[in-house]
Structure 1
Amino acid sequence: MDMRQLKYFLKVADVGGISKASIQLNVTQSAVSAQIASLEDELGSTLFLRRSRGVEITDAGRILYRHARTILRQSEIAREEVAHSEGVPSGTVSLGLPSAMAEMVGMAMIRACAERLPLVRLRIVEGVSSLLVDFMSSGRLDISILFVGQAPAGLKAMPVLEEELFYVCSPRSAYATAGKTAITLADAVQTPLVMPEVGNSMRRIVDAACAKAGIGIEPVAELDSLILLKACVAQDVASTFLPWSVVSKEEAAGDVHVMRVKTPAFSRPLSICTSSQGARGIATDVVTVLLRTVIIDLVKGGAWQGVTLSS
């Protein structure tokens, strides 16, 4: 196996087709096909099943995918550290951010990296937590913020904070016009609610709190979209439960009314996660430390409210 074979293999696996891979790699389809065929011959295994609309990776291909990601990443780390052997952090670091905080944390990290780590190229990927876990496990991300207290398999977790959920309603609602700043969970679930789908980290917190209190909850709709959740609130269709970080701009603009929920255990853990397997470059380590510093600064500076820092 050589690096070119692995690079071509990963690209085909990522895009799901030889034609698409050849375009992104800027080589001919025959060149990509030849490298894949050579790799399959060398390993004695079929890596892809050819379909009418592309390719489907096999179980053997999935095993190789995990190793290939690690091999190429370690090669990249070695080149970067040798090229900058004086110890100045450099190279590319991939950071995964949940959509709920991508703008706030992402912008702060971009500024901090530009100021403190000028030779580090930060690549930020926004996505839902389940996607970020998959990307971390496959080696496509070096670091990710995840809503977990304990690390998923193959990852290490550094707990950073607990993020509280709030009841978010229309500024035209009776609670808002009365100037209410807090609400019981029992009262909140009596109002029309839109919620993320079951399995979402926010939904798990709400469902667990309702179950503990013996309260039933029947949302009028399940929406896998923060934009739609906030739109339903702003247009007085329904209320919801969200972290303050998601609705800070809307609250400041007067588009929503935010209330604390008077119930225990109404927060979700947030951790910085890295791989527990394979080598990590100097750049990844320093960006991990910087990310924690940036988050703490956001909280202590008041830019991120409704959270409690981990001890």
Structure 2
Amino acid sequence: MDIKQLRSFITISETKNITKAAALLNIVQPAVSRQIHLLEDELGVVLFERGRHGMHLTDEGKILEVYARRALKEIEAAKVELTTSNGTLQGTINVGILASLSELLSVSLMRVIKKKYPDVNLKVSVGYSGHLTEWLEKGDIDLALIYGTDSSKFIDIQPIVRERLWIIGPYNSDLNYNCPLSIKEISEFPLILPYAPHRLRSIIEQGFNSENCDLNICAEINDIQVQKQLVKEGFGYTILPLVSMKNDLQQKKFKMAPINNDSFYRDIALALPNTRHISKLVHTIALEILHCSRVAVEVKAWSGSEWIGK
């Protein structure tokens, strides 16, 4: 198995046609066919189903595709790192950010990168913590800001920020920023929450269980924008960190109140893979993310948070 074979394999999987793949790879069609046959012979499996409508990956081919993309990405990253001259950072980096943090941090990070590292191409993947963890383990992203949990055999976790969770209601509600509510009081509210196994849902359930109170669920939606829209229109209340409500609160679309329970917080952590080499580019951008996050906390742009990083 070599790089040329893997590139041919990936190109065919994308074009579903050997002729098109050969044109993109700038080699003759028989050479592409031979590379795939050699790859199939070496692995002892059939990688493509060949039919009237093109070539489609078999189940075995789909398994190889994951590893092939990861291998080619690592090779390209090594090439960039080894051939970069004068210590200038260049290349592409894919950063995963929680949906609730993307608005706060994506712009500030982009501003820093364009000013200090103009040859770096930043990609931002927004998702929920579980998705970001999966993408990081698979190598689809290079690092991420996720809910703080214990490190695993695949990922190293560095908690950096702790956020309080707040009860959020429509603007015509009686919630008061200066009047904390107990879990018992909140248990009377119809709640619009993400569904399990969303990490925020787990935190909320643990808090209610600690006081033997039941959740009064009126809707379960794993989309923060839809949750907020339903709250705005008076369908119920939700529980979120203030950072996810920053612009909405300034525009007086909602009211909120603190929760009188010490377990209602979430930790945000910087996550890096521990199963592959961390390039200079990834290490440098990780430090910039830490700096942007700390500044956001210190200047109160990251509302309702405290810095817990080292």
TM-score range, shorter chain: 0.7 to 0.9
- Counterparts of 1:166 and 1:10 in 2: how far apart (Å)? 47
Give the equivalent residue in structure 1 for 2:201.
203
CA distance change for structure 1 residues 182 and 57 in 2, over 3 Å: closer, same or farther? farther
CA distance change for structure 1 residues 275 and 49 in 2, over 3 Å: closer, same or farther? farther
Give the equivalent residue in structure 2 for 1:137.
137
CA distance change for structure 1 residues 238 and 36 in 2, over 3 Å: closer, same or farther? farther
Amino acid at match of 1:259: A
- The answer to whether the Cα contact below 8 Å between 2:175 and 2:256 also exists between their aligned partners in 1 is no
Give the equivalent residue in structure 1 for 2:290.
292
CA distance change for structure 1 residues 41 and 112 in 2, over 3 Å: closer, same or farther? same
Give the equivalent residue in structure 1 for 2:82.
82
What's the CA shift string for 1:107-132, capped at 9, x where partnerless? 11101111122222111111222222
Give the equivalent residue in structure 2 for 1:274.
272
Which deviates further from its counterpart, 207-216 or 274-283? 274-283
- Counterparts of 2:113 and 2:262 in 1: how far apart (Å)? 37
CA distance change for structure 1 residues 186 and 97 in 2, over 3 Å: closer, same or farther? same
Give the equivalent residue in structure 1 for 2:181.
183
Give the equivalent residue in structure 1 for 2:105.
105
Deviation at 1:7, TM superposition (A): 3.4
- The answer to whether the Cα contact below 8 Å between 2:93 and 2:282 also exists between their aligned partners in 1 is yes
- The answer to whether the Cα contact below 8 Å between 1:18 and 1:32 also exists between their aligned partners in 2 is no
TM-score (norm 1): 0.86
CA distance change for structure 1 residues 231 and 54 in 2, over 3 Å: closer, same or farther? farther
- The answer to whether the Cα contact below 8 Å between 1:8 and 1:32 also exists between their aligned partners in 2 is no
Amino acid at match of 1:310: I
Task: Determine if the alignment matches structure 1 residue 301 to structure 2 residue 277.
Answer: no
CA distance change for structure 1 residues 180 and 157 in 2, over 3 Å: closer, same or farther? closer
What's the CA shift string for 1:150-187, capped at 9, x where partnerless? 124311112111222110011101335xx754211211
Give the equivalent residue in structure 2 for 1:231.
229
- Counterparts of 1:11 and 1:134 in 2: how far apart (Å)? 24
Amino acid at match of 1:229: Q
Structure 1: where are the runs of 5+ without partners? Answer: none
Deviation at 1:241, TM superposition (A): 0.2
Amino acid at match of 2:59: T
Structure 2: where are the runs of 5+ without partners? Answer: none
Amino acid at match of 1:71: A
- The answer to whether the Cα contact below 8 Å between 1:182 and 1:262 also exists between their aligned partners in 2 is yes
- The answer to whether the Cα contact below 8 Å between 2:192 and 2:237 also exists between their aligned partners in 1 is yes
Identity rate, percent: 20
- Counterparts of 1:128 and 1:240 in 2: how far apart (Å)? 17
- Counterparts of 2:306 and 2:50 in 1: how far apart (Å)? 51
Task: Determine if the alignment matches structure 1 residue 244 to structure 2 residue 242.
Answer: yes
Amino acid at match of 2:215: I
TM-score (norm 2): 0.87
